[in-house]
A and B are shown apart, each in its own frame.
Chain A
Amino acid sequence: MFIGAIGCEPLQLRRVLLDNSASLDVYRGNGGYEALRRVLDGMSPDDVIAEVKKSALRGRGGAGFPTGMKWGFVPKDSPKPKYVVCNADESEPGTFKDRYLMERDPHMLIEGMLIAAYALGARTNYIYTRGEYRYLIEIMDRALEEARAAGLLGEKILGTDFNCEIYTHTGAGAYICGEETALLNSLEGLRGHPRMKPPFPAVAGLYGCPTVVNNVETLTAVPDIIKMGGEAYQKLGTEKSGGTKLWSVSGHVNRPGVYELPMGYDDMEKFITEDCGGVPGGRKLKAVIPGGSSVYIMPAADIEGKDVRMDYEGLVAAGSSVGSGGFIVMDETVDIFESTKNLTEFYKHESCGWCTPCREGTDWLVKVFKRIERGEGRPDDAQLLLDIVDNIEGKSFCPLGDAASWPIQSAIKKFPEDFRRKVANGNGHARGGLPTA
């Protein structure tokens, strides 16, 4: 598996290929904890937030919300304790970047969290890691111990008055806990159901206190923003999408892996055919899901010869979005009906059951998919799927319902043939159209 930067100097992936890259010595020997030193030596919390705002850093977990703005929402005058929670519940199908950041450069995450905690006045902070990533929790625990022994964690950090603790926490196998309010419920020891917003976590989050929840990749960008300055970081990317982005590339490419690209990398086609080594076996590209399973699928025709720019604006213009950067490549052997059914089963399994549109809707979607697969498709089944989706999208309690809807909408729109073929092969229309789903 490839891991490295294309089209820019490696920033987040600067150390990942070094021997013993997870150790404090290697981290410090390669510029580590210099940003924390600079912050503690003379920057106010507001200075730090201002730099992050200038950097145009946007949340890397999937939603793409501007990080500096999120930090700015935390009320300064609140007498309650504040929390920084790192969202390491990486579960979006196709996404595995955070895993390698934590495995190979855990101190970068610790430094990013310390700076965030300083900026927001948080004393106690948590890294919520998905339960399956147990080995990463062990790596993080070792790194935290190292940092504590070196005076980088705990009381009087680097000899200043800054006190800060970071603890690891484990999830236990629930995709929904990647949604920030569900994550907070889970961290409080409850079922991982999302909460009503507002109030947003910045005002009332963990234990009802002001809380910022940021993705691993977001927090690990912070040390470099401080070191090079927000403006310089932004200039690595585009005006509205600052810096670099990690793309987790999987599926039918010769060189899958984690790629760091500058935001605004100019051509998705070149990225697939050259940087990722192209589609194996000389087969043709059929489709790409560029940002994790929850974004619109892109047919090859929307990529080839279209100079699709890889940043938030460029991908929206091309009919999809950056999401989490989980870049799934599918060649001509893939049936889009099958792939969409696969993702729908995922959402049905991961729907938390809290709200009716998502719980019942995803269940019905899977039933219809299975019926079509059994050969009992009916002529209007594509429309039936769209009707069910219409009752989920925008009507569910949290974005999981939307995430389940978009793959189906875009797949039916972009690949009607794959659906038509399945349905046409079926005999459902001969059964009087009884709702046997």
Chain B
Amino acid sequence: MSQQFLPNNPLPQEAKVPREIAVFSPEVEAEMDRHLAKYPVKRSAILPLMFIVQRERGGYLDPPGVAYLADRLGVRITDIWEVATFYSMINTEPVGRYHLQVCKTLSCKIMGAGKVTEQCTKRLGIKPGQTTEDGMFSLSEVECLGSCGTAPMMQIGFDYYENLTEQKVDEIIVKCRSGELPNGVR
């Protein structure tokens, strides 16, 4: 007779599948410790730590990064995925080195967000939701970024670019290509 699990029984031990776990430098570990020290409950640090893992693992949460977070926070892998998939700034797939996020919500929309997106598409040859083949650029349309008085705008990584015109978009893209602009990831 097969083993029965009644609803109130603890979950079965997680299967012992060998898995790769990400390794970070002592500096990065210390940065995580500083976040963990803020909270009485380790799990509270999940978002700050996700941003760090994402930054260190090439811009997204890869399975070894997720395994690391689960171990570090003392939660299950599924708990990490559950949170990661809820928040739009946590990437679960690779994104371009420069992630152009054009605000599309009302104030930006009526001030010309459409033109900004079109100009990006024209220059990069990708539509919103796509990444260039060389992995350099991703383009997204996102919801209100709180920059309505300086519309239209876009965010690259964590940096804001406001009062955009088609010409400014061109300049920004040239500067990204030449490496003059930081990719805004931090």
Contacts and interface: CB of A to CB of B under 8 A. Distances in A.
Contacts of A95: 146, 148
A192 B109 contact: no
B87 A132 contact: no
Contacts of A326: 148
A130 B146 contact: yes
Interface string B104-140: 1111011100000000000000000000000000000
Nearest to B83: A191
Interface residues of A, number: 56
A346 B144 contact: yes
> Counting chain B CB atoms within 10 Å of each CB, which of A249, A250, A289 scores highest?
A250
Interface in B22-42: 38-42
B21 interface: no
Interface residues of B, number: 43
B158 A350 contact: no
A170 B146 contact: no
A98 B82 CA distance: 30
A346 B39 CA distance: 32
Interface string B149-169: 111000100111000000000
Interface stretch (A15-23, A56-64, A171-179): A171-179
B90 interface: yes
A381 B118 CA distance: 31
B86 A191 contact: yes
A131 to B, nearest CB: 5
Given A1-B150, A91-B144, A343 B106 contact: yes
B143 A96 contact: no
15 contacts: A1-B150, A91-B144, A93-B148, A94-B107, A96-B149, A99-B146, A99-B147, A132-B89, A132-B155, A169-B38, A170-B47, A170-B51, A172-B89, A189-B47, A326-B148
A251 interface: yes
B31 to A, nearest CB: 12
Interface string A106-145: 0000000000000000001010001111110000000000
Contacts of B72: none
B156 to A, nearest CB: 12
B89 A131 contact: yes
Nearest to A249: B149
Contact of A93 (B43, B45, B73, B107): B107
Interface in A224-263: 248-252, 256-258
B58 to A, nearest CB: 18
Nearest to A133: B146
Contacts, number: 143
The 4 A-B residue pairs with the shortest CB-CB distance, nearest first, are: A189-B43, A250-B148, A172-B87, A173-B89
B105 A93 contact: yes
B44 interface: yes
Contact of B143 (A135, A188, A250, A346): A346
Nearest to A326: B148
A328 B105 CA distance: 11
Contacts of B105: 93, 293, 342-343, 346
A188 B151 CA distance: 34
Interface string A348-361: 01101000000000
Given A207-B40, A257-B149, 8 more contacts: A96-B149, A174-B87, A175-B143, A175-B144, A250-B151, A251-B111, A258-B149, A346-B105
Contacts of B47: 131, 169-172, 186, 189
Contacts of A30: none
Contacts of A94: 106-107, 144, 148
Contact of B146 (A132, A189, A256, A352): A132
B46 interface: yes
Nearest to B38: A167
B66 interface: no
Interface of A: 1, 90-96, 98-99, 124, 126, 130-135, 167, 169-175, 186-192, 207, 248-252, 256-258, 289, 293, 326, 328, 330, 333-334, 339, 342-343, 346, 349-350, 352
B50 interface: yes
A171 B149 contact: no
Contact of B41 (A93, A207, A333): A207
Interface string B73-116: 10000000011001111100000000000001111011100000
A250 B110 CA distance: 10
Nearest to B47: A172
A343 B146 CA distance: 15
B49 to A, nearest CB: 9
Given A135-B158, A187-B44, A189-B73, A342 B106 contact: yes
A131 B186 CA distance: 12
Contacts of B106: 93-94, 251, 289, 293, 328, 339, 342-343, 346
A330 B110 contact: yes
A172 B51 contact: yes
A188 B90 CA distance: 17
A419 B45 CA distance: 47
Contacts of B147: 96, 99
B182 interface: no
A93 B158 contact: no
Given A250-B149, A328-B148, A189 B51 contact: no
